A = this chain, B = another copy of it.
C-alpha cells in the first residue's frame, strides 16, 4: 500500500476553499467545506485540553451521533474563549452552510483555527459560504486544505487506495498545524475522507487504533491546542462488503498510513523546523515509560537546539532521560544518533561524535535509545528548535 502526498477525488465528496476575508491577509483562503452527497458515517477525536474552543464543543456533540454530511472550517480565528457567543457563532456558521447546500444543520461539524479570544465576522463568513457552495467540486481538496492553513508553509495532504471487501477503496486526508502541536487526541485540524462503507463504530475503532502511531506520536513545541480535531468520514460509495478480519486490518493500515503521513508532514513543516527527528525508545519495561522518556527528549529545548546545531550532544539526551523520572540502568543504556552508536555500557563513544554530527546535517534522522530492560517501545516524531521558531512566534501577534 502506497501513501501518496497528493489529494485524490473520493467518491461521494466535494470540497472547496475560498478567501472570505476572515484573516488579516484578505487574499488568503480562509474558509472551506467538505460536503458529502448525503449523510455519511463519521467518527472524530478532539483536543483533551481543559479549554475547548466553541466549534470543538459543537462538533464533538454532533459527531457522537455517528453521522455527518458536511464539515465547515475556517482559519483566522479559533473561536475559543468566546463563551456562549462563540457557541452561537459556530452554530450560525453551520446554519449558513446548511442553507447554501441544502442539508440539515445538525449534520455539519464546525472547525476553526487561528487567534484565540475573538469572534470572526459572521457577515463575511456568510458571504464566503455562498462562494464555497458554488465552488464545491470533487477535486477541490487542495483548495480546502489551503483554507485551513495558519503558520503552515504548505498544505499537507495524503491519500491511499486498497482493495477490500470486493471493492477499490480510496482514502484521502489533509491536516494543518505548525505550532501549538503536541496533540493528546488529535492534531490541530485534520480531515480524512473515504469512499469505504463502514459503520460509525468501526470508524471510531479504526481512529482509536491509528492515533498512537500518528497524530499522538508527534510534537512541535509540546503545546497542545484548544482546537485539535480529527474527523474521519466514510461515504460508502465504494460499495464494499462489511469489513472484518484481515480486510478490516488492511483498511485500518491504509487509514493509518494516511494519518501517519499527515502527522509526519505536520512535524516536517513545524514552525521554523529544519529537521525531522524520530525519537525511538526501546527496551523499556512499560510502554508508558518508553513514551515518557521519548516525550522528555522530544520536547526538551536543549535537545531540540542541539538538533538545530547538528550537535550530537549526549549530555542533553542523558539530562532528558534523567528528568523523565523513569528508572533505568545507566550501565545498560545504548544511544544511537543518526544511525551512529554514541553511548553504550556506561560510556560515551567520543570518537563516534564527529560522524554523528556529520549525519545530523541531513533533514531527517533517528535518535534511538535502548534501555535494555524490557520489550516496550514508543516513538515520537519531533523537529528542531531554530531561530525561525522564535521569530515566527515573537512576531505572530494577537
Interface of A is mostly: loop
Cβ contact within 8 Å between B319 and A51: yes
Q: Flag whether A358 is at the interface (Cβ < 8 A).
A: no
Cβ contact within 8 Å between A348 and B315: no
**Contact partners of A315 in chain B: CB under 8 A:** 78, 80-81, 115-117, 226, 398
**Contact partners of A321 in chain B: CB under 8 A:** 50-51
Listed residue (A316, A323, A324) with the most chain B CB atoms within 10 angstroms of its CB? A323
Report the bound CA distance from A332 to B178 in whole Å: 31
Q: Flag whether A318 is at the interface (Cβ < 8 A).
A: yes
Identify the closest chain B residue to A356 (Cβ): B398
Cβ contact within 8 Å between B391 and A318: no
Cβ contact within 8 Å between B314 and A81: yes
**Contact partners of A78 in chain B: CB under 8 A:** 315
**Contact partners of A397 in chain B: CB under 8 A:** 309, 311, 313
**Contact for A318 among B226, B302, B312, B320, CB less than 8 A:** B226
Q: Taking A346-B81, A397-B309, A398-B315 as contacts, is the C-beta distance between A49 and B322 under 8 angstroms?
A: yes
**Contact partners of A182 in chain B: CB under 8 A:** 323
Identify the closest chain B residue to A331 (Cβ): B83
Interface 9-mer from A10-18, A32-40, A120-128, A381-389: A381-389
Q: Mark A200-238, 1 if CB is under 8 A from B, else 0.
A: 000000000000000000000111111000000000000
Report the bound CA distance from A394 to B50 in whole Å: 34
The A306-365 residues at the B interface (CB cut-off 8 A) are 306, 308-309, 311-316, 318-328, 330-331, 343, 346-348, 350, 353
Number of copies: 2
Q: Flag whether A157 is at the interface (Cβ < 8 A).
A: no
Report the bound CA distance from A331 to B87 in whole Å: 14
**Contact for A312 among B118, B306, B387, B398, CB less than 8 A:** B398
Q: Looking at the assembled complex, report how far the CB atom of A308 sits from the nearest CB atom of chain B, in whole angstroms.
A: 5
Q: Flag whether A395 is at the interface (Cβ < 8 A).
A: yes
Cβ contact within 8 Å between B393 and A390: no
Q: Flag whether A137 is at the interface (Cβ < 8 A).
A: no
**Contact partners of A51 in chain B: CB under 8 A:** 318-319, 321-322, 330
Report the bound CA distance from A67 to B184 in whole Å: 48
**Contact partners of A385 in chain B: CB under 8 A:** 301, 390
Cβ contact within 8 Å between B309 and A394: yes
**Contact partners of A299 in chain B: CB under 8 A:** 222
Q: Looking at the assembled complex, report how far the CB atom of A124 sits from the nearest CB atom of chain B, in whole angstroms.
A: 18
Q: Flag whether A180 is at the interface (Cβ < 8 A).
A: yes
Q: Flag whether A305 is at the interface (Cβ < 8 A).
A: yes
Report the bound CA distance from A144 to B398 in whole Å: 45
Cβ contact within 8 Å between B322 and A390: no
Report the bound CA distance from A315 to B80 in whole Å: 8
Cβ contact within 8 Å between B50 and A326: yes
Q: Looking at the assembled complex, report how far the CB atom of A53 sits from the nearest CB atom of chain B, in whole angstroms.
A: 10
Report the bound CA distance from A331 to B51 in whole Å: 11
**Contact partners of A226 in chain B: CB under 8 A:** 315, 318-319, 322
Q: Flag whether A140 is at the interface (Cβ < 8 A).
A: no
Q: Looking at the assembled complex, report how far the CB atom of A367 sits from the nearest CB atom of chain B, in whole angstroms.
A: 14
Q: Can you name 8 A-B residue pairings with CB atoms under 8 Å?
A: A47-B322, A50-B326, A180-B316, A221-B300, A222-B299, A223-B300, A223-B302, A311-B398
Known: A313-B397, A353-B398; 4 extra A-B contacts, CB below 8 A, are A81-B330, A117-B318, A117-B347, A224-B322
Residues of A near any B CB (own CB < 8 A): 47, 49-52, 78, 80-83, 115-118, 179-180, 182, 184, 221-226, 299-302, 305-306, 308-309, 311-316, 318-328, 330-331, 343, 346-348, 350, 353, 385-387, 389-391, 393-398
The 8 closest A-B pairs by CB, nearest first: A116-B315, A51-B322, A309-B394, A49-B322, A305-B393, A117-B348, A224-B323, A83-B346
